[in-house]
Amino acid sequence: MHSTRSTSAPLLLAALLFTACGVFVGDGDAVTEEREISSFSRVASTSTVDVEITVDDGRAEALTLTCDGNLLDDIDTYVAGDTLRIETENGVSLRPRARCVAEVRARHLEVVDVSGSGDLLVLGRAPELAELRTSGSGEIIADDLAAPVVEAMSSGSGDVVLRGEAVDVTLESSGSGAIVAADLAAEAVHAESTGSGGISLFASVLVYARASGSGDIIVFGDPENRDVESSGSGDVIIR
């Protein structure tokens, strides 16, 4: 008589160890579920989940979440005040094997804030989106901004990519993440880079640029009014 060794035992042990350390590993089976949400105008993501937002003022808010089936219960989606929050519990880290994405439909969208590792993408025109912030490793991409005043900040390693048009724009990079706004046609831009992340921008009338870190600020649009200064290893470059 001989004994057989189960190949699932090491996997089970590894899963238990991960769980004990607060790390939950996905099973690889993608499952999609619809979740009820109330009205909101801001989105804050602190998790590993990617977020894709479409603005449609003619339809009700909606959220569809896709992830490993065994991880869905560990992802919280709820509205607090006027903010839709997408997050995991404190001390819990997810290791998905399937792609985790929250597909969101918003009637109004004014602010997006990323402090996790998941990326956030705003698809299509966003006429009211005026403030975009990332402080984690997640990237923000906005395809078609149209608000007259726009502010974008990156204080982590995540990039911010902006397209569309605006009148007055403020860009601040204090980490290693870059702000790519050369395709955001603006009249006046105030840009400050204090970290290693660079900034590219388009200004047709006025630019105020300060580079005090190692990141460059690259200015397109040939604005007539220029107030630029470099005090670090990064340069302000007019193209």
Structure tokens at 228: 């630029």
- Based on the domain organization, do 45 and 79 belong to the same domain? yes
| pLDDT for 2 beyond 80 | no
Q: Is the dihedral of CA 39, 42, 47, 48 positive or negative?
A: positive
DSSP three-state, residue 60: coil
- Across the range 221-237, mean pLDDT stands at 97
| pLDDT for 191 beyond 70 | yes
Domain assignment present for residue 117? The answer is no
Cα 212 from chain centre: 25
pLDDT value, residue 90:
73
Pairing of strands 75-80, 83-88: antiparallel
Q: Which domain holds residue 176?
A: 132-239
- Based on the domain organization, do 101 and 149 belong to the same domain? no
Residues contacting residue 174 through CB under 8 Å, at least 6 positions apart: 153, 154, 155, 193, 194, 195, 197, 213
pLDDT tens, 73-100? 999 999 999 999 999 977 688 999 999 9
| pLDDT for 11 beyond 70 | no
Number of domains comprising the chain: 2
**Three-state SS sequence of 208-238:** EEEECCCCCEEEECCCCEEEEEECCCCCEEE
Domain assignment present for residue 11? The answer is no
